[in-house]
Structures are given as structure tokens and as C-alpha cells.
């Protein structure tokens, strides 16, 4: 719940920023000067790009959360509570690698199962590879009905 609150606060801050930025863009557009108009158009594009980035990330989070609830209801959420941890709280690297290999074998055995891809994404995240975790979670989202 805490991460959701932080996300909403950040989105609210971005909305304020985008509104202020759009105001500057319209002021530049209103100058009538070709350079001012060009800058105004450029400044106006930035909030649009920002809105698109925020929207895609919010959608990603909502879909991931929906899949997690579904897996939890089925009893299929990945359980890493038994893995050994470092003093920092992170899972021991060797244990994470072994757990990862098990999840990868699940995907190889059932490449069209979104549940296996979800667990593999969790394994990537556990191993600290956030980029591959997001790519793998996108694959799970694509396969989810």
C-alpha cells in the first residue's frame, strides 16, 4: 500500500508540474514570434510525453497487481520466504540463482503459461535484474487473458 501512496503523490506532483509547464507553453505560443511559437510547441510536447509515460507505467502496475491477486487466489504466488538472506535483507545470490533456474525451467516446460512468466519475472527481480524482470512481466501480461 505504501508504494501505491508514493505513486499517487508523485503523479499529483507531475500533474501540477505539467499544468505549470503547459501554462508557459501557451504563453510562448501567444507571443506570435516564430521562435516563441516553436519553443511553445516544444514545451507543450513535454507534458504530453510525460502523461504517456505515467499512463503506461500505471497500466503496467495495475495489470501486474491484478495478476498477483489472481495468482494469490490460486495459491500460486512465488514464495521466497524460505530462501537464505544476507544481513541487508536481500536474498543470497546463490540461492537466488538456483531459484531462478527453477523458474526458468517452468517457463521452458510451459512457454504459454502467464503464471510461469510471472514467477520468472519475480526471479529476475529477486536476482536484481530489473530490466529483464520488466520485460518478462510484459510477456506475462501479453499472455494473460
SS3 of the chain: the string is CHHHHHHHHHHHHHHHHHHHHHHHHHHHHCCCCHHHHHHHHHHHHHHHHHHHHHHHHHHHHHHHHHHHHHHHHHCCCCCCCCCCECCCCCECHHHHHHHHHHHHHHHHHCCCCHHHHHHHHHHHHHCCCHHHHHHHHHHHHHHCC
Beta bridge partners of 91: 85
The answer, yes or no, to whether residue 1 has pLDDT greater than 70, is no
The predicted model gives 10-37 an average pLDDT of 90
How far is residue 100 CA from its own chain's centroid?
Answer: 20
pLDDT tens digits, one per residue of 118-133: 999 999 988 888 899 9
C-beta separation of 67 from 75 below 8 A: no
The answer, yes or no, to whether residue 22 has pLDDT greater than 70, is yes
The pTM of this model reads 0.77
pLDDT tens digits, one per residue of 70-114: 999 999 888 888 888 888 888 888 888 888 899 999 999 999 999
Amino acid at each position: 500500500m505504501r508504494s501505491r501512496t508514493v505513486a499517487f503523490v508523485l503523479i499529483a506532483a507531475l500533474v501540477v508540474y505539467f499544468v505549470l509547464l503547459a501554462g508557459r507553453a501557451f504563453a510562448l505560443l501567444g507571443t506570435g514570434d516564430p521562435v516563441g511559437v516553436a519553443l511553445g510547441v516544444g514545451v507543450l510536447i513535454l507534458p504530453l510525453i510525460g502523461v504517456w509515460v505515467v499512463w503506461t507505467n500505471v497500466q503496467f502496475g495495475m495489470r501486474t497487481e491484478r495478476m498477483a491477486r489472481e495468482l494469490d487466489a490460486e495459491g500460486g504466488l512465488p514464495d521466497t520466504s524460505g530462501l537464505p538472506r544476507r544481513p541487508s535483507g536481500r536474498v543470497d545470490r546463490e540461492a537466488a540463482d538456483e531459484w531462478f533456474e527453477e523458474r526458468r525451467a517452468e517457463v521452458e516446460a510451459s512457454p504459454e503459461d502467464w503464471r510461469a512468466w510471472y514467477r520468472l519475472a519475480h526471479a529476475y527481480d529477486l536476482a536484481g535484474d530489473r530490466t529483464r524482470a520488466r520485460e518478462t512481466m510484459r510477456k506475462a501480461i501479453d499472455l494473460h487473458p
